[in-house]
Amino acid sequence: MITMTCDQIRDLAPAYVLGALERDEELAVAEHLRTCPDAHAELAELGGVVPYLDEVVPLVEPPASLRGRIMAAAVADLAARSGERAEAPIASPAPRPETGARQAPGTMGQVIPISAARSRRDRRSWVLGLAAVLAIVALGTWNIRTQQQLADAQSYQQRLAAALVQAGQPGSQVAVLASTGGPGPGPGGIAVMPANGAGILVVSGLAPTTGSQVYEAWTIAEGQPPAPVAGFTVGSDGIGYLDRMPTSTGQTLTVAITLEPAPNATAPSSTPVAAGVAAQRGVGG
Amino acid sequence: MSNIDASVRVRQPSPADDADREVLDRVAAGELDALDTLYDRYRTMAYSIALRITSDATLAEDVVQDAFLGAWRNAGRYSESRASVKTWLLAIVHHRAVDAVRRRRPTVELPEREDVPPPQLTLPDLWPEVAGRLDRDAVQGALRVLSDVQREAIELAYFGGLTQQEIAARTNAPLGTVKSRMRLGLLAMRRVLLGEVGAFAGLGPDEVAG
C-alpha cells in the first residue's frame, strides 16, 4: 500500500480525476481521501467537469443481444448468491458411490445426471450455464403487462434460481420435467432431490386449478407404485412450487405430476401432465 | 474554496435523479426488471463510452456487461457515493473500459482487483440539477476554448486510458507539463460550463463560479 501526503494528492489531482493514474496510485489517493481531515476541494474543483466529457462521445446503440447477456448474467449471479447462502450452514458429506441401479422403464422427459465425481467448480458452472440458458428463454418470451405479472415472473425466477442452486449441490438428483402431452407448449420444470433435507420442485405452464383440484407430485422408484409427495394449487400464473421434495436415495427415480380432483390422493387418478427422470447418483455426465 | 462550497450548495437532485435512485434501490434488492430499466436508460451512453475508449465492438460489449453486472452487485453500496446514479454508473463503465484497454497492452501488469473505486465516485457531482441542460453543444463549446495540447492531454487521459506518464511519453512532454495541461484544461472547461450554468440558473457567473 502506497501512502500519500496532502501535497502529493494535490499534485496528482488532475490525473486522478481523469483516471490517468495507475490503479495502485488511484487506490492510494482514495485511501488518503477516506481518512484525511482536509476536504481536498481541489479534487471536486477539477473533477466536477469530468462526467460532462461523456456528453461528447458519438452515440452508438449496442447490439440487441447485449441485453439478454446482461440479464442472463444477473440471473446467474442471483443463483450463485442464493447458493452461497444455502451452502454456508451445510457440511456437505462425501457422496457415496451408488452402483447397480438400472434406468427405470417408461422414461419420460430429459435426464440430467449429476456426477458426484465432478468437482464443485464444474457443478457450479453447470448450474450457472443452465440458469443463463433458462433466463434467455424466459426473457425472450417475457411480455409483462401488469405489476402482478411482474411479481409472478420475479417469484418464478427466484424459485427457479433456488432450485438450480440446489441442483448444483453435491449428491443432488435432478429431474427436468417435460410435458407428456406431445409436441407444442406445455408444462415444464425442474425437480431436485438433494443429498440432505427437502428438495424443490418448480413447474411453469400448468393450467390453473379450480375448486378442490390439486396437482400432486409423485416419485416412482423402479418396480414400485407411485409414492405421493405433496399437492399444490396453481393460479393464473400457471406456476407450481413445492419445497417438500424428498431427500435423494441415490436410486433412479421418476418424478411425475398429475391433476387430482381432491387433495391427499394415494394413487394417481389420471396420466401425468409432466414427468421426468432423475438418474441415479454417481452416474457420469 | 468558496466557489466549491457554492456549487455544492446549489446541488439538488433533479427528478430524473430521484427516479434513478428509486430504480437503483430496486436493483440493490435484486429485482431483475429494475436492472432492465437501468439498462434501458443508460445502455446507449454506456456502450458509446466503452466503444470510444476501447475502439473494439466486442470488447465494448464485454465492458458494458461487466459494468452493469458490477452495478447489479454493488448497487447497495451506491449510497456511499456522492455522485448521481448516472455519473456513478458511467464512472463504472469508464473505469472498466480503461482497465480493458490497459490489460490489452502487453507491457502493463494490471492487478486483478475490483476494490479501486472510480475517482468520480469519491467526488460530488457539480451540477446534476442542470445536467440535462448542459448538452453536447455546451460541452463541445467548453472543449473548444482549450488549447490543442490541453485538449490532447485530457482526451488521451480520459478516452485513451493512458496514464499521465504514458501521455508524457506519447506527446514528448515532461510529466510536469502534462500535469499542468490537464489541470489548466479542466479549470478552463469549468469556467465555461459554470458560466452556462449561471445563465441557466439566472445567476451571474461570479455568483456560481466565483
Who contacts A178 (Cβ-Cβ below 8 Å, separation ≥6)?
A108, A109, A110, A186, A188, A274, A275, A276
Taking the whole predicted model, whether its pTM rises above 0.80 is answered as no
Query: In whole angstroms, what is the distance from residue B38 CA to residue B14 CA?
Result: 17
The verdict on B2 touching A (C-beta cutoff 8 Å) is no
Q: Across the interface, do B189 and A49 touch by the CB < 8 Å criterion? A: yes
Residue A161's pLDDT band (cuts 50, 70, 90): confident
pLDDT, mean over chain A: 74
C-alpha cell of B125?
457531482
Which burial class, exposed, middle or buried, applies to B3 when counting CB atoms under 10 A from its CB (0-12, 13-18, 19+)? middle
A76-80, A262-266, B175-179: range with highest mean pLDDT: B175-179
Least confident range of A72-76, A93-97, A154-158, B35-39: A93-97
Residue B55 has phi, psi (to 5 degrees) of: 50, 35
Interchain CB distance below 8 Å, B122 and A62: no
Query: How far, in whole angstroms, is CA A160 from its chain's centroid?
Result: 5
Find, among B189, B108, B93, the residue nearest to B141 by Cα: B189
Mean pLDDT by 10 residues, chain B (210 residues): 40 70 89 86 97 95 93 85 85 94 71 60 55 73 93 97 96 97 95 72 44
Inter-chain contact A74–B159, Cβ cutoff 8 Å? Answer: no
| pLDDT at residue B69 in the model | 92
- Report the pLDDT value the prediction gives residue A110, as an integer from 0 to 100: 31
Residue of chain B with shortest Cα separation from A22? B163
Checking if the pLDDT of A141 tops 50, the result is: no
Mean predicted confidence (pLDDT) in A128-138: 50
pLDDT in tens, A232-262: 999 887 888 998 999 988 888 889 999 999 9
Q: Hey, which residues 81-110 in chain A have their CB within 8 Å of chain B?
A: 81
Query: Of A19, A73, A150, which has the smallest distance from its Cβ to B95's Cβ?
Result: A19
- Residue A178, pLDDT > 50, answer yes
CB count within 10 Å of CB A198 equals 14
In eight-state DSSP terms, residue A282 is T
Question: Quick one: DSSP state of residue A202?
Answer: E
CB-based contact A112:A252 (threshold 8 Å): no
pLDDT band, very low/low/confident/very high, at A222 (cuts 50, 70, 90): confident
Residue with cell 453447470: A126
Percent of chain A topping pLDDT 90: 28
For residue B5, what pLDDT is reported? 39
Closest chain A residue to the Cα of B80, Cα to Cα: A34
Cell numbers placing A151: 411479481
Could you tell me the CA-to-CA distances from B164 to B114, B156, B157, B171, B177 in Å, in that order?
21, 9, 7, 10, 10
Position A177 confidence tier, pLDDT thresholds 50, 70, 90: confident
Chain B, window 92-121: residues with a beta carbon less than 8 angstroms from a chain A beta carbon = 94-95, 98-99, 110-111, 113, 115-120
A204 confidence band (pLDDT: 50, 70, 90):
confident
Instruction: Write down the pLDDT at residue B155.
Output: 96
pLDDT of residue A190: 84
pLDDT at B198: 62
At B56, the amino acid letter reads D
- Check CB contact under 8 Å for A44 and B126: yes
pLDDT at position A68, please?
A: 72
A111: confidence class by pLDDT, cuts 50, 70, 90:
very low
Residue A70 in contact with partner chain B when CB distance is under 8 A:
yes
Chain A, 15-34: which have a CB under 8 Å from a chain B CB? 15-24, 26-27, 29-30, 33
Average pLDDT over residues A67-78: 75
Q: Which of A129-133, A205-209, B105-109 has the least mean pLDDT?
A: A129-133
What pLDDT is recorded for position B135? 73
Q: How many CB pairs under 8 A join A and B?
A: 195
State the DSSP H helix or E strand holding residue A95, giving kind and residue range, or none if neither: none
Whether the CB of A154 is below 8 Å from some CB of chain B: the reply is yes
Instruction: Report chain A residues whose CB lies below 8 A from the CB of B110.
Output: 23
Tell me which of A99 and A148 has the higher pLDDT: A148
Are B61 and A23 in contact (CB < 8 Å)? no
User: Can you tell me whether residue A284 is helix, strand or coil?
Assistant: coil
CA quadruple A73, A75, A77, A81: dihedral, nearest 10 = 180
The beta strands (E) that lie in A76-185 are given as: 110-112, 173-179
Q: Taking 70 as the threshold, does the pLDDT of residue A112 lie above it?
A: no
Quote ipTM for the complex. 0.85
Q: Would an 8 Å CB–CB cutoff place B186 in contact with chain A?
A: yes
Instruction: Place A126 in a pLDDT band, splitting at 50, 70 and 90.
Output: very low
Report CB contact under 8 Å: A20, B157: yes
CA distances from B79 to A34, B96, B121 (A): 15, 20, 10
Q: Which of these ranges, A130-139, A159-168, B129-138, has the smallest mean pLDDT?
A: A130-139
